[in-house]
Amino acid sequence: MKHLFILLTLAGLLLAACGGTPTPDIEATVQAAIAATQAAPDIEATVQAAISATQAVQAAVTATQAAQSTEMPSAEPTITPMPPTDTPVPEQPTHTPVSEPAGGTPTPSPLTTTEIPALGACTYYVAPGGNDSAPGTEAQPWATFQHAADSAQPGDAVCFWGGTYPTEETHLTRSGTADALITFIAYPGEAPILDGGNSAAELLILDPGTSYLRVSGFALQNFRIWGVELSGDNRHIQLDHLDVGGGEASIHFTYGETEGPPAEGPVEHIVLEDSTIHGSQYSAVDCTPGPCNHMVIRRVEIYNTGLEGEAFYGSDGLEFARGHDVLVEDCYVHDNGGDGIDLNSRDREGNVPGIIVRRNRVVRNHLNGIKLWAGGRMENNLVWGQGDSAVWVGTFASSVEVVNNTIAYNMWDPAYSERNWVFVAGYPEFGSPPAVQLTLVNNIFAFNADPTQGGPTGIYLGAGVELVREGHNLYWSRGDGEITAEFVSGRDDADFTRAEIADGTWTASTGQGQGNITSEPLFVSDWPEVDLHLNAGSPAVNAGSAEGAPADDIEGHPRDATPDMGVYEQ
Ligand SMILES: [Ca+2]
Ligand SMILES: [Ca+2]
């Protein structure tokens, strides 16, 4: 599917650039491009290539607009708009609700966002005070997003001037094509605001089937339920440079009952990047029931969601109930009432392919930090300040890789913390313990749960866990129980103490544990001014394993031949 998309994209680019006349040379070039695409190393590269190519097509199409055919798309989707009568049902909490909101003031985002790409030209314009009966030119702009959505053709770029647009529920029913997205974008330097006036239930609704769109550069506010909804069967959508706040969820993917199948088809090949999402009542970026496949969530800040509301129990920053090939990277997910990043909670068959969570900062969420229920790889994540277990993986049978994460000072803030293991793999939440193949390398676990409070704070490995590889981790959380390993037989106690890791007992019992460290990590700054960079004298410096370590650290610095443990390379 994605290769077909890229094929069409590249073909369209080449044809547009050559004035629409195919030649044998172009065919050969396209064939070469297909081969290159099929060799693309991963989802990220493929999706990025597709997006880049599509943007290039848009520019080419704009540049050659005079020569372009003006014919209408042959088949406009016939869609019956679906009224948003179904209030999303929150996941039943398995944890005690946080009793009161805390951490209410978000810290400023340190995200470095990219600029909105300059447009070669805009096909149409929209402005506050415009007129939908006008021709939509720069001098005589339209007034509403709905009119723009009803008028745009594949390849069109509709540019919005800054200001506030009172917005009712806006249905996007027209699709672009593989070689020509429809783009709705803030004019460079402008800041359009879509405002629902606290009466609109939703603002931008991509009806079932609507595909090949880009929405860029808008703030969405004062809606009651969802800011952006992808109803289902939506594919190849780019959402970027958005600021969405409030409602029940800011961005919602797939329509249907939470515990049931989706009412429409899956949402697939979506990029959400360089955006800020905040202040929802329930999960802020919500794919329930799903599935959401081939997703890229990148450089998104998600904060202050799930902290209050009628049915308050603590909702997540990012919650994808079902879906494969999901990449979450370079996000800052903090101060949410529930979990930070929660993936695949309804994929009970387990072993979901293509789940990657990396280089995220997951901070002060009041329940878990990162949950990978059905497998995946998490690397270079900075996870501190959670109110409950920082990381929870392998609730369903799966393979899980946990590499170069720094997991410290969780369950430390008494304002919202409970006591639990800091890291849990293969917990028997649904009866028998799930079979989990776990790789656990180069991580730092330190200062998890206030030691004055008592209770479990080490890591938990269930009876179905098989350690593919465990080693080069630093354990400094709970001296009398750093590792609880239910799968180890022949002991009175499943808990391995810090001393038993240091003296070789753990290694003798499991055949693992090479390179583990059981001393203080020596962070730059401890609680409350948390800075988990390593001091030069830290034992974690150069103590990691190069095998399977990520090429760079969380800040993009290349890792050397002797990687440091945790997220930072010195
Ligand atoms: Ca959750
Ligand atoms: Ca190093």
Phi-psi region of 537 (alpha: psi -120 to 50; beta: other; left: phi over 0): alpha
pLDDT the model gives residue 309:
56
Report the first-to-last Cα separation within the chain, whole angstroms.
42
Cα 546 to middle of ligand 2, angstroms:
9
Ligand 2 ion local residues (Cβ < 5 A): 542, 560, 562, 564
* CA atoms of 64 and 45, how far apart (whole Å): 28
Domains and CATH numbers, the chain: 2-66 (no CATH), 151-346 (2.160.20.10), 390-570 (no CATH)
Q: Which ligand is nearest to the CA of 570?
A: 2
pLDDT the model gives residue 256:
87
* CA atoms of 548 and 264, how far apart (whole Å): 39
Q: Which ligand is nearest to the CA of 286?
A: 1
Residue 25 and residue 152 in contact, taking contact as beta carbons nearer than 8 Å: no
pLDDT the model gives residue 119:
55
3-state secondary structure of 71: coil
Q: Which ligand is nearest to the CA of 365?
A: 1
Cα 440 to middle of ligand 2, angstroms:
18
* CA atoms of 99 and 344, how far apart (whole Å): 27
Q: Which ligand is nearest to the CA of 546?
A: 2
Phi-psi region of 127 (alpha: psi -120 to 50; beta: other; left: phi over 0): beta
Q: Which ligand is nearest to the CA of 346?
A: 1
Per-residue burial over 1-27, b = 16 or more CB atoms within 10 Å of its CB, e = otherwise: ebeebbbbbbbbbbbbbeeeeeeeebe
Cα 561 to middle of ligand 2, angstroms:
7
pLDDT the model gives residue 313:
60
Cα 145 to middle of ligand 2, angstroms:
52
How much is the CA Rg of the chain, to the nearest whole Å?
A: 25
* CA atoms of 498 and 123, how far apart (whole Å): 65
pTM, whole model, 2 decimals?
0.80
* Distance, C-alpha 257 to centroid of its chain: 22
pLDDT the model gives residue 76:
28
Cα 341 to middle of ligand 1, angstroms:
8
Residue that has been written with the tokens 């030069």 in this structure: 536
Q: Which residues of the chain have pLDDT under 70?
A: 1-120, 309-313, 451-454
Residue that has been written with the tokens 């990025």 in this structure: 48
Cα 478 to middle of ligand 2, angstroms:
26
Residue 297 and residue 325 in contact, taking contact as beta carbons nearer than 8 Å: no
Cα 358 to middle of ligand 2, angstroms:
19
The identity of residue 447, as a single letter, is F
Q: Which ligand is nearest to the CA of 341?
A: 1
Cα 473 to middle of ligand 2, angstroms:
14
* Distance, C-alpha 97 to centroid of its chain: 24
- The pLDDT tens digits for 11-51 are 333 333 333 333 333 344 334 444 444 444 344 444 344 44
3-state secondary structure of 425: strand
Structure-block tokens of residue 559: 């890792």
Q: Which ligand is nearest to the CA of 549?
A: 2
- Cis peptide upstream of residue 414 (ω within 30 degrees of 0): no
Cα 569 to middle of ligand 2, angstroms:
6
Cα 522 to middle of ligand 2, angstroms:
15
Instruction: Return the number of other C-beta atoms located less than 10 Å from residue 101's C-beta.
Output: 17
